[in-house]
Amino acid sequence: MTKIHSRLIWVILIALAVFLGYLYWQQQQGPTSGRGAGAPVAVSTAEVSVKPMIRKITSLGSGLANNSVQIVAPASDFLIELNIQEGKQVKAGDIIARLNNIQQLARVAELSAVLTDQRRQLDRLQNLATTQATAQSLLDEQQTRVNTTLAQLDIAKAQLNELTIRAPFDGYLGLRQVSQGAYVNTGTVLTTLDDLNTLKVEFSVAEHYLAEIKRGMSVNVTNVAYGNVDFIGEVSAIDTRLDPVTRSIRVHATLDNSDLRLRPGMLLKVNVELANTPALQISERALIPQQNKQFVFVVNSDNTVSQREIEVGQRIPGWVEVLSGLEEGEEIVVEGIQKIRPGVVINKVGAR
């Protein structure tokens, strides 16, 4: 039984050795096996060229009105005037609504009449004072009455003015929430007012880009409602604080929206261009990483390839900057690198 087991072990070891030898032989045959000795290998090549190295940030943002407020009732009373046409453009100072102001009007008229009479009495006392026929104390008392009434009149006029609701800036009215003649309480929302001619976009940028993003940088914005239409703006503000959870910072950009195509609340795709400089670039597909180094296959004049080490710099999607190891105009293999080895003859298919 022991001899049988020993023979079985030897058979297994011999079979394993034969298998490993076969694998080694296959590896030595290389990519030319099955094609005949020296058969060209079909690959795709491209010339090394200088192209703009565009680095950008892509983020999702939300549209915000440049200025936005809710128009609310400043007091509790009946609405005697309501000038809300939904979607209508209004100018700063235009009357939007007016609350019942009969009592305030009467109060202003009363105080105005009292003030007129008190000023007339003050003038009479001042004339008497020039002839020393009246005491200075009477003159001072009357002046105090005039000043008191004047202050009360200013308060009454301010209260009267509050009952007339005006647009604080140029903008577009939103949906009407009340009807004329309704009794409203203090703080009741009548409508909204948005400045839509300039749209703000709020988006977040990772902490990694904080040192690169600056005010005034160009911003490209798109929205699914308009397909590939680009809306161009610029970075207008950068928050002073980072979010401690996401380690990102909020950024605002402004866009010209005079055609009113964009609206507050829209989901917007934002692209911020960080840099646009010419650089020697190759396709990422051409790279052959080995440990901490990068290699490419360079096409020689006789259509053979040689492996060369290069130094890479910045990367953008699909492309990588070449700092050294290649010259502009040289030809490299970009597709089919797994089928070739140094010295192999290639057949260029789809050269670019």
User: 233: pLDDT confidence band, cut at 50, 70 and 90?
Assistant: very high
Residue that the structure tokens 């610029």 belong to: 234
> pTM of the predicted model, to two decimals?
0.61
Q: What is the pLDDT of residue 23?
A: 67
The reply to whether 74-189 shares the fold of 30-51+279-348 is no
CATH 3.40.50.720 fits 30-51+279-348, yes or no: no
Delimit the domains of the chain by residue range: 1-29, 30-51+279-348, 57-66+192-277, 74-189
The 10s digit of each residue's pLDDT in 284-307 is 888 999 888 999 999 998 889 999
- What is the C-alpha to C-alpha distance for residues 53 and 276, in angstroms, rounded to an integer? 5
What CATH code is assigned to 74-189? 2.40.50.100
Among 207, 267, 232, 209, which Cα is nearest to 55's?
209
What CATH code is assigned to 57-66+192-277? 2.40.30.170
Ordered DSSP codes for 82-105: E---TT-EE-TT-EEEEE--HHHH
The 10s digit of each residue's pLDDT in 234-268 is 999 999 999 999 999 999 999 999 999 999 999 99
User: 33: pLDDT confidence band, cut at 50, 70 and 90?
Assistant: very low
- What is the C-alpha to C-alpha distance for residues 250 and 232, in angstroms, rounded to an integer? 19
Q: What is the pLDDT of residue 220?
A: 93
Cα→Cα distances 223→114, 270, 271, 350, Å: 63, 9, 12, 36
